[in-house]
A and B are shown apart, each in its own frame.
Chain A
Amino acid sequence: MAQTSEMAPLRFITCGSVDDGKSTLLGRLLYESNRIFDDELHALEIESKRFGTQGDRTDFSLLVDGLQAEREQRITIDVAYRYFATERRKFVAADAPGHEQYTRNMATGASTAQLAIILVDARNGVVTQTRRHTRIVALMGVRHALLAVNKMDLVGWSEHTFDSVAAAYRELAHTCGLSTVEAIPISALEGDNVIRRSDAMRWHDGPTVLEHLESISIAGPAHHAGLRLPVQWINRRDSSFRGVCGRIAAGTVNPGDRVVSLPSGTTSKVQRIVTFDGDRPNAAVGDSVTLVMEDNIDVSRGDVIASDGSRPAVADQFEARLLWMSFDKMLPGRPYLLKLHCKETTATITTIKYVEDIDTGARLAAATLACNEIGVVALSLAQPVVFEPYAVNRTLGAFILIDKLTFETVGAGMLSFALRRSSNIQWQQLTIDKQARGAQKQ
């Protein structure tokens, strides 16, 4: 295990079709970064003989295929998280399943990833699963792709083969909105261009997989106008203390800042940022905080505290992209529970504008969404909510749908824009503005 000098960890997801070599690649990265320990290596050698597909050779994929059922059936059925570090960076890797029926798990891994490693078998090139996975990671907001063209040993290390696969993939990535693609020819089995430069592919002058992972810089969220704090919990130790708790989704906060609680629209000033180790002078995006306000304003779980000068919108009708994850089809008009940041309410899908064909990106008419389908839909909520488009802020734009009877998580969605502002909210905002002006005069 390496000691890492401080730099932001990279969260990535590995995806590809079954047998493209994801597990082998990830096992290699773990092994070469010294994250595989002696006792694990010993267990691995024994298991390689029992379940492995490499004869007496050590099968690195067994390191990451964790569940017994997977080892017996030799497929990856659920997303697994792995942690490793090199001297330059810490990594969190989500190993996503390639099987179609488990696509929802891939969306899970992608929802928090900054980069996707997309594996293809050099012999097959870009296949249906590659398109599917690329669309899903792009949909989940991943902007960077590393295309690993694997099993180059089986195509005679051919530069020509690599170039044509890479070109086909770049075209796909472009239509999906992935902003950077780094294509790397590898052999996961032999380790070529994973960590060690390949002698067999001297024609490749780009980075190795690890070099790229270590050096890629992930731009923070676009410059943001103000504080966004979804209210998670109200801390009432006793009648004298009232703290507003949550994890900052954007911006910074300092005592003295003028803030607004939405949707109510009441304004106040931040008095203290309270912690176990004493008050702190400021806090920023990513921090879990407890704020004490100057006034006893009306605020509850599901509200959002924002900078008074830059308010996010409030609405109850949206256009959104929705990935359906349940084997029971989505039914327009049926009420589902919706969870958006800390807010829970009821939502119905009023119309399906279209379903995206995952292979071609074509827009198809549909009356319902089946498992693993992605649709663009109109949503109607029982209550107005504070939001921002997913492209602006993942935390304020991402939601899940929960079945009201089974409590299964059935859908994952991303808000695109409000279809209309909630009318009663506009009215509320007007009266509040008067109050706020009054308060400022005092």
Chain B
Amino acid sequence: MSVLPRCRLPHLDDLESEAIEILREAATNARAPVMLYSIGKDSSVMVHLARKAFFPAKPPFPLLHIDTTWKFREMYAHRERTAAETGMQIIVHRNEQGILAGVTPFTHGSAYYTDVMKTEALRQALDAGGFDVVFGGARRDEEKSRAKERIFSLRTRGHRWNPKQQRPELWALYNTHLAPGESLRVFPLSNWTELDVWQYILRDAIPVVPLYFAKERPVVERNGTLIMVDDDRMPLPGGERPQNRMVRFRTLGCYPLSGAIESDATTVEAIIAATIAARSTERAGRLIDSDQPGSMEKKKHEGYF
């Protein structure tokens, strides 16, 4: 099915040029830049844009993957493929104390688990690397508190975000100056929507993790959400048997926390058609967002992306 012809989409050219401008601007003034790499579709687009921005040179920064140890196996495989194909360095960081303390999504609840294995792990990795400019793939259309974030977003000591004291950001004149201890989070995809991301993936044939495409996968139901049983760490009480269902993922994270949707969209074109027709937001499948009201905003104050 051809939902959109493979013709030029001028608004994608515009978004691409804007993202490249942002990447170059941030890299120019950075002492130690790094790009967060979550292995998802937005990260794939980010890596692709970085390669374009600095071509024929390699992007002047490494990728950083915060590994909770609970990602899908296909995500780890994709990470290795990306490293090989781009030649970029990928720093992998795990919160070893968290692992030693046995913090898992099953034993500690999603809020605490996310705090320790993602937010704290990220802070550790950023401190260890002394990174002052950190690229993230967040988009303003994802969530209400993100709609207000600057493209160049200042973090004070301790990686805190203060939404009431954001620097005014006018035109494309980004203020990249930092006092000691401060850092910048930079979001080149701020103005992209989920649909733009998929149209761009199609246009530039960007490789993404196969989990985005529908396939028969073993799933169980937890609180109305379909969770894929990706390995034998998933507790299956009372001899519960996973069912094979035709599912795909709109966002990817830790497998025990990523809800699958039933779908038969097996190609990028079909996903674009489904995105256009979608009746729920992309993040609905993420369990961590709805723990408590203002949930995402709270995590951001504390340094989560």
Contact = CB atoms under 8 A, between A and B. Distances in A.
Contact of B191 (A47, A81, A325, A337): A81
B280 A39 contact: yes
A82 B140 CA distance: 7
B141 interface: yes
A157 B173 CA distance: 44
Contacts of A274: 55-56
A407 B177 contact: yes
A408 interface: yes
Contacts of B28: 232-233, 301
Interface centre among A40, A286, A288 (most CB of B within 10 A): A288
A403 B114 CA distance: 37
Interface centre among B3, B140, B169 (most CB of A within 10 A): B169
Contacts of A399: 173
A243 B297 CA distance: 41
Contacts of B17: 247, 286-288
Contacts of B163: 67, 69, 78
Contacts of A140: 170
Interface in A203-259: 232-233, 235-237, 241, 243, 245, 247
Contacts of A400: 170, 173, 175
Given A39-B280, A83-B141, A409-B175, A235 B170 contact: no
B281 interface: yes
Contacts of B25: 232, 342
Interface string A255-296: 000000000000000000011100000000011101000000
B148 A79 contact: yes
A315 B21 CA distance: 25
B280 A37 contact: yes
A235 B56 contact: yes
A409 B168 contact: yes
Nearest to B140: A81
A48 interface: no
A92 B297 CA distance: 22
Interface in B1-58: 3-4, 9-11, 13-14, 16-18, 20-21, 24-25, 27-28, 51-57
A6 B170 contact: no
Contacts of A301: 28
B300 to A, nearest CB: 10
Contacts of B179: 406-407
B202 to A, nearest CB: 13
Contact of B169 (A39, A108, A275, A340): A108
A370 to B, nearest CB: 16
A276 B275 contact: no
A37 B168 contact: no
A409 B9 CA distance: 35
A398 B169 CA distance: 12
A288 B21 contact: yes
A247 B19 CA distance: 11
Nearest to B54: A235
Given A111-B170, A325-B168, A394-B171, A37 B191 contact: no
Interface string B270-303: 0000011111110010000000011001100000
B11 A38 contact: no
B168 A407 contact: no
7 contacts: A6-B10, A9-B11, A39-B280, A78-B148, A108-B170, A233-B28, A288-B21
Interface of A: 1-3, 6, 8-9, 37-40, 47, 63-64, 66-69, 71, 77-83, 90, 92, 104-105, 107-108, 111-112, 140, 232-233, 235-237, 241, 243, 245, 247, 274-276, 286-288, 290, 301, 325, 337, 339-342, 394-395, 398-400, 402, 406-409, 412
* 6 nearest CB pairs, A to B: A66-B144, A68-B294, A407-B177, A288-B20, A237-B57, A111-B170
Given A247-B17, A407-B178, 16 more contacts: A67-B297, A68-B297, A71-B294, A77-B164, A80-B144, A81-B140, A82-B140, A233-B24, A237-B57, A276-B52, A288-B16, A288-B17, A301-B28, A394-B171, A402-B175, A408-B167
Interface of B: 3-4, 9-11, 13-14, 16-18, 20-21, 24-25, 27-28, 51-57, 140-141, 144-145, 147-148, 163-164, 166-173, 175, 177-179, 190-191, 193, 195, 275-281, 284, 293-294, 297-298
